[in-house]
Amino acid sequence: MAKNVKILLDPVGNSMNIWWDDPSQASVSEETDSPTRNDVIVKNADGVPIGVEIIGVFPSELNIAKLMKDYHISPKEPFLLEASQ
């Protein structure tokens, strides 16, 4: 049973990593067997899943990488996203 679960959200890469074991033990990454998703299962050297990367967490309207490109924002610059109605 997992003792600590770590959830890392990457809004620019539009992905979320969930670790239920030590990420430094990652040895193999395999794509899931889904025709509509390209998520990744991360396993340790024994082949036991220790994490998952979910790709495409946000809908296309919230594609941060595209917004940054559209507004000519460098990934090294901090920025604030604002919503409008």
Query: The tokens of 20 are what?
Result: 């239920």
- Per residue in 53-81, pLDDT (tens digit) is 999 888 878 777 777 788 787 766 555 55
How would residue 20 be classed by pLDDT, with cut points 50, 70 and 90?
very high
Sequence-ordered list of residues with C-beta below 8 angstroms from that of 70, at least 6 positions apart, any chain: none
What are the extents of the domains in the chain?
Answer: 6-70
Residue 27 clears pLDDT 70, i.e. is over it: yes
Global pTM value: 0.70
- Per residue in 29-52, pLDDT (tens digit) is 999 988 888 899 999 999 999 999
For 6-70, give the CATH class.
alpha beta
Q: Residue 54 half-sphere exposure, CB side, CA atoms within 13 Å? A: 10
Q: What is the pLDDT of residue 80?
A: 58
